[in-house]
Amino acid sequence: MKFRDPFAGVRLGTPEEWEPFDQSLGIPTRDNCDLENPRQTFLWQYVGLPGVVGAPLVFPIEYWELVSFHQVLAGARLAAVPQIKYRPSTDSMLNKTTAAGEWVDPSEPDPAPTTLADVTEAQIPESQRAELREHTLSKLGFPSGQESINMPVAELATRLKVNVDRLVMVLAEFGIENLTVDSVIDRVVAERIVAHMGL
User: Bridge partners of 87?
Assistant: 102
pLDDT digits (tens, 9 = 90+) for 44-67: 999 999 988 878 888 999 999 999
pTM summary value: 0.60
Q: How far is the C-alpha of 194 from the C-alpha of 171, rounded, in Å? A: 11
pLDDT digits (tens, 9 = 90+) for 178-190: 888 888 888 888 8
Domain ranges of the chain: 1-111, 116-195
**CA distance to 25, 87, 122, per residue, from 104 (Å):** 21, 7, 28
91 has pLDDT over 70: no
pLDDT band at 157 (very low <50, low <70, confident <90, very high): confident
Contact (Cβ atoms closer than 8 angstroms) between residue 134 and residue 199 = no
Contact (Cβ atoms closer than 8 angstroms) between residue 6 and residue 35 = yes
User: In this predicted structure, what is the pLDDT of residue 24?
Assistant: 87
pLDDT digits (tens, 9 = 90+) for 116-127: 677 777 778 887
